[in-house]
Amino acid sequence: MRYGAVRFRCPKRGHDVFVALSCKCRGCPNCDAKRSAVITGQALERLLAFVPCRQRVLVVPKRLRYFLSQNPALEGELSRIFADEINHFLCQNTTGTPAQLHFIKRFGGVLNLHIHIHALVSDGVFSLKMNVLGRSELVFTPVPCPTDRQLAAIVTAVRKRFIRRVRRACGLSQEAADNLLSWKNSGFSIHEEVLIKDLDREGLERLLGYCSRPALSQKRLVYSEKANAVLYRTEPKAGKSEMLVMTPVEFLRRWTLLMPPPKAMPVPYQELCSSNGQQEPGPLLRRPRAQVTAAAATGSEGGKRGGPDRPAGKNR
């Protein structure tokens, strides 16, 4: 009971039953909400230093979401490809390693299957340098936000590598792969307008909570016993939300599709945040404040400021 419990009471006989909330099942809203709080706390205390962080959201076309749903290993492959291209861009003109925390999301705003990636990336790179005392210290070097042409190059690289990976892993025909590569509007996109300043820990906490939120919100869910229907209020879009009316079977079908596959890792740790990225001496990002350059003290240029209650960047 240390994680909480819910009380069920029979109004006729007056019997009480307490059910623990720590079921740890896939798709459980209560367990997912607690898991989100734990991930947020650990990222703030042990992983993400006091440097500017930018959210980058990768969206793939609907035709490829089927393969991502059928082959869960492709989700990790897509995350690694995305991390490699971000790392390649950030390290073009400087040496170092960025901090990347990826969140693989399987749902859209209307309880639909929409597999995409939220990546929380440091707006620069970390490197070890010797100070005047001959000791190694962590230095953060900011990197400017990519231009439209550079962002298009990142999208193109991710698109080509991932389609090639799907062709090898899922048996996608060469004709279908060429057709996907010939689309003028490829369906791949990267949104990166949300920027968190180095000292805005409250904004960073809100952004982490948004990226790691569960697929289903119990506050928006209502069951009508008389109509035998499930009502669900969707996420607000342009200040408005709609009400979904479903039968219980249809609701369970939608909910089941949004559950992560068994033994899947919905939060891949990339680059400096991963265990392989930790350099000596010690885990660098666990320090309360990284040594930053004078340019990083004012934050990075470009992008939105602060941490909005609901950051943009997730397309349906």
- Scan for tokens 């408005």, then name that residue: 240
Domain of residue 246, residue span: 216-258
Does 168 lie in the same domain as 101? Answer: yes
Same domain (yes/no): 170, 230: no
Residue 195, domain member (yes or no): yes
From CA 138, how far away is CA 283, in angstroms rounded? Answer: 11
Same domain, 82 and 103: yes
DSSP code at position 194: B
Residue 88: the pLDDT is 94
Residue 261 has pLDDT above 70, yes or no: yes
Residues facing residue 117 across a β-bridge: 58, 104
Give Cα separations from 25 to 30, 32, 41, 66 (angstroms): 10, 9, 21, 24
Lay out the sheet containing 221-224: strands in order across: 221-224, 229-233, 243-246
Min mean pLDDT across 77-91, 188-202, 210-224, 289-303 is at: 289-303
Q: Is the pTM of this model over 0.85?
A: no
Domain count, the chain: 2
CA distance 36 to 235: 18
Write the single-letter amino acid at 209.
G
Give the pLDDT confidence score for residue 124 in this predicted structure: 93
Q: Which of the four pLDDT bands, split at 50, 70 and 90, describes residue 293?
A: very low
According to the model, what pLDDT value does residue 312 have? 45
Q: How far apart are CA 87 and CA 97, in angstroms?
A: 7
Q: Do 278 and 241 share a domain, yes or no?
A: no
- The answer as to whether 17 is a domain residue is no
Residues 291 and 187 reside in one and the same domain? yes
22-52 burial by CB neighbour count: b if 16+ within 10 A, else e?
eeeebbbbbbbbbbbeebbeebeeebbbbbb
**What's the pLDDT band for 122 if we cut at 50, 70, 90?**
very high
- Same domain assignment for residues 80 and 94: yes
6 or 160, higher pLDDT: 160
The pLDDT of residue 288: 36
Confidence of residue 23 (pLDDT cuts 50, 70, 90): low
What percent of the chain shows pLDDT beyond 70? 79
56 and 201 inside one domain: yes
